[in-house]
Amino acid sequence: MFDTISNKLQNAFKNLRGLGKISESNVSDSLREVRLALLEADVNFKVARDFIERVKTKSLGQEVIESVHPGQQIIKIIHDELVELLGSTNAGLNLSGNPASIMMVGLHGSGKTTSSAKLAKLLTKQGRQPVLVAADVYRPAAMDQLETLGKQLGIPVFLKKGETDVLAIAREAFDFARANNRNTLIFDTAGRLQIDEPLVQELVRLRDLVKPQEILLVLDAATGQEAVNVATHFDQALNITGSILTKLDGDARGGAALSMKAVTGKPIKLAGTGEKLEDFEPFHPERMASRILGMGDVVSLVERAAEAVDEEEAKRLEEKMRKGEFNLEDFLDQLRQMKKLGSLESIVGLLPGGSDMLKGADLNKSEKEFKRMEGMICAMTFKERRQPVILNASRRIRIAKGSGVTVTELNNMLNRFNQMQQMMKKMGKLQKMMMKKGGMPGMPGMFRK
């Protein structure tokens, strides 16, 4: 996510960290690199210029000049200004209507239909009862796509194939929502390859009829400067309430995200971070700024873990580990829990310094290794997973054939598992000893319940 700008800014920070004394000349030299990094990321040039001016003014302030670590202080100023540029705080959705309505607008190919489904899934998790409204009457495939996504999610989709009057669809959609006790309508509207007046006027008429609480502009994060032009045009015509940035997992240079709030004055509310329907999250400026500056995003990682991990299951497994009863069935559960957190790359990317760890690391190889391990365990019977000691030579040959690996690979996996199991048993015994003695020396009661 924003790898290019992140790498360039971190290179500029190497010079900033070395600044023992602050002067106008060395601050200007260091900030010139930051400015180039912003421009190369396709940030609007006026936004980049104003950003550097604000950082420079604060960097030459008395407090920074007298600071013990002036270079670090300037980096903090850049971080704070970046947060401000991205919108200061997370701007939540206004869902006050009954039913509430949301209009999804944008150009063709920006990801409106998929984002509509992702938003519906997110709102469902928050306790809402959404209905997806197929309001794109020009592209039949959009209706089909929305219908398919709705079925996947178990969320109703209101569509009228063959109907060309968007306003008629909207009126009936409201009736449908009220009749079925759905409290949120999400209108997936038509897009174009480029902005044209007939499209905009149709959206204006729909807005005037629907009176939506939210008009969200869906933008492809990789479009850079052009995204700002599109946002300005839609905002002038419809008075958008915010935007959704899609495809942040791709080759997004960051220009759209860093320019959007400054140019339109409207916040980025949500972000699409992958192709799966769950790869969608509220946009937190402070967390995003930390990611861009290579500081990680531990809060998002903890939230993701809290969602993916069942607390009762975690306690049960902890108890089994402590007693040395952890088996291959439990190990398989752990592998699947990890998969719920996302790809290894996305997990490591949320750690402080994660971007440096990712350089040269072959995470695809590690991902494949996890899949192979899962395949080996799945090829075993339930009894074999619960009692790995019964895995004799003939069973191992069968399992290896069934999972498409060699017997050597299977043996290596089982040996690693046995080592892990032994280590858990030792830790469990150590913990029991410490509990009997009342805790470790100097750390009273550490293991007491």
Query: Mean pLDDT by 10-residue block, N- to C-terminus, for the chain (449 residues)?
Result: 66 65 72 80 81 84 61 77 80 86 88 92 92 88 90 92 88 92 92 73 90 91 74 87 81 67 84 84 81 60 60 70 75 75 60 52 66 89 89 93 92 85 69 55 39
Backbone conformation region of residue 254, classed left if phi is above 0, alpha if psi is from -120 to 50, else beta: left
Strands 268-272 and 242-246: parallel
pLDDT on residue 440: 43
The CATH superfamily label for domain 3-86 reads SRP54, nucleotide-binding domain (1.20.120.140)
pLDDT on residue 213: 94
pLDDT on residue 422: 76
Closest CA to 234 of 263, 210, 270, 277: 263
pLDDT on residue 301: 58
Whole-prediction pTM: 0.66
Order the strands of the 214-220 sheet from edge to edge.
157-158, 130-135, 184-189, 100-105, 214-220, 242-246, 268-272, 280-282
pLDDT on residue 442: 42
Q: Where are the domains of the chain?
A: 3-86, 100-293, 307-440
Which residues are annotated binding-site positions? Answer: 106-113, 188-192, 246-249
Measure the CA–CA gap between 77 and 398, rounded to whole angstroms. Answer: 61
For domain 307-440, the CATH architecture is Orthogonal Bundle (1.10)
Rounded to whole angstroms, the maximal C-alpha distance in the chain is: 79
CATH of domain 100-293: 3.40.50.300
Which residues are annotated binding-site positions for GTP? Answer: 106-113, 188-192, 246-249
Contact 117/149 with Cβ under 8 angstroms? yes
